[in-house]
Homo-oligomer: A and B are copies of this chain.
Amino acid sequence: MPKKRRMVILTEGQLNVFRAKTAVSVMRYLPQEVCCVLDGVATGQHLPSLVGVGEGIPIVATLREALKFKPNTLLIGIAPVGGKLPAAWRRTLVRAMAAGLDIISGLHHFVGEDPVLARAAKKHRRRIWDVRSVPDEMECSKNVAKDLKCKRVLTVGTDANMGKMSVSLELTAEARRRGWDAEFIATGQTGMIISGAGICIDRTISDFTNGAIEREVVNRKRREILFIEGQGSIGHPAYSAVSLGLLHGCAPDGMILVHCPTRKVTTSVETPIAPLPLMVELHEKLAGLLCPSKVVGIALNTFGMKDAGARKAVAKAERETRLPASDVFRYGCGKLMDALEKHYRKKG
């Protein structure tokens, strides 16, 4: 990818906060890299009113209009229904490459394996980055992360899809503001597009899941502190393999447990969410099989709650776990970063 990306985000008719999760997160965390959104249906509308972010970013109807903003990259910001690439999109992508744009895609269906698009990329010497594709050469974990000098903070959760990526990004920014040499490690497609690196951990072969995140950590061992994006939950019926592989592969010495107080059952596959104290205990005992680890604080996602309710939820979480709790978007990261700094001072 070019050093300085200038992205057109293609959302073609699916620009809402649920379907366009990647587009929304990229606009939140990298607004300076987004030139415009390409969406024939939403043209002319006000992005913040539609999705809560994107102030000042225009929505255009055609690639020709988008090119006026001198982009160098086209990001596919959504997943087409059925997972296949619609013919109209293929034409847009070919024309974008002909106009000098690289392509970034988080689709399950790899754009680089589409013969037409692969040929166009070769012809126009453009790069296609299929974010979900993982390297062929994988290895089993050698259990070395635990011995690294860098501190490793993993966000874990009581469920999937609750904001673990955002909490890790916010903590990374807060740590940097406080003078730490901090880096975020992405483990999912959106985090990877935002940070430009990482591994899509849920696409790895299960035998190599632990090893895949270990490699990411080892590659950044010279940092002072790493914030690793968590995935799923050890209590989620569908994703627990991913979550435990991540937990053991990066061997965190500190964990932040993310929880959504309004959610009673896990997402997509409904199972009762275990009480916070049990989730704290299980994470500490499982991580502890490899190296001593501690849940240092609770990050609550109080989205949609009124302020009084949110404050009550924070107090309840603190009472139940005897750990500091906060919502990093509502109240900022200070409390959790304070807790992490205290934890590491104590650890030495």
Q: Range of interface residues on chain A?
A: 35 or more
Q: Does A297 contact B (CB under 8 A)?
A: no
Copies in the complex: 2
Min CB–CB distance A234 → chain B (angstroms): 7
Q: Please pick, from B142, B143, B201, B286, the residue contacting A206 in the complex, using a CB distance under 8 A.
A: B201
Max count, chain B CB within 10 A of own CB: residue among A201, A234, A238, A242: A238
- Bound together, the chains give a CA A202 to CA B286 distance in angstroms of 20
Q: Does A269 contact B (CB under 8 A)?
A: yes
B240 near A140 (CB under 8 angstroms)? no
Q: Please pick, from B142, B204, B242, B289, the residue contacting A235 in the complex, using a CB distance under 8 A.
A: B289
Known A-B contacts A237-B248, A289-B235; the reply to A141 vs B269 at CB < 8 A is: yes
- Bound together, the chains give a CA A320 to CA B289 distance in angstroms of 19
- Bound together, the chains give a CA A285 to CA B274 distance in angstroms of 10
Question: Interface 1/0s, chain A 221-246, versus B by CB < 8 A?
Answer: 00000000000001101111111110
Which residues of chain B have C-beta atoms less than 8 A from A242's C-beta?
Answer: 206-207, 209, 241
Max count, chain B CB within 10 A of own CB: residue among A202, A205, A211: A205
B207 near A205 (CB under 8 angstroms)? no
- Bound together, the chains give a CA A203 to CA B208 distance in angstroms of 9
Question: Interface 1/0s, chain A 280-308, versus B by CB < 8 A?
Answer: 00100110011000000000000000000
Q: Does A210 contact B (CB under 8 A)?
A: yes
Q: Please pick, from B204, B206, B289, the residue contacting A245 in the complex, using a CB distance under 8 A.
A: B206
Min CB–CB distance A143 → chain B (angstroms): 4
A237 near B205 (CB under 8 angstroms)? no
- Bound together, the chains give a CA A239 to CA B141 distance in angstroms of 8
Min CB–CB distance A305 → chain B (angstroms): 25
A239 near B210 (CB under 8 angstroms)? yes
Min CB–CB distance A156 → chain B (angstroms): 13
B235 near A240 (CB under 8 angstroms)? no
Q: Taking beta carbons and an 8 Å cutoff, which residues of A are in contact with B?
A: 140-143, 201-207, 209-211, 234-235, 237-245, 247-248, 268-271, 274, 278, 282, 285-286, 289-290
Ordered by A's residue number, 13 sampled pairs between the chains whose C-beta atoms are within 8 Å are A140-B269, A143-B271, A201-B206, A203-B205, A203-B206, A203-B207, A204-B206, A206-B206, A210-B240, A210-B241, A235-B289, A240-B248, A278-B285
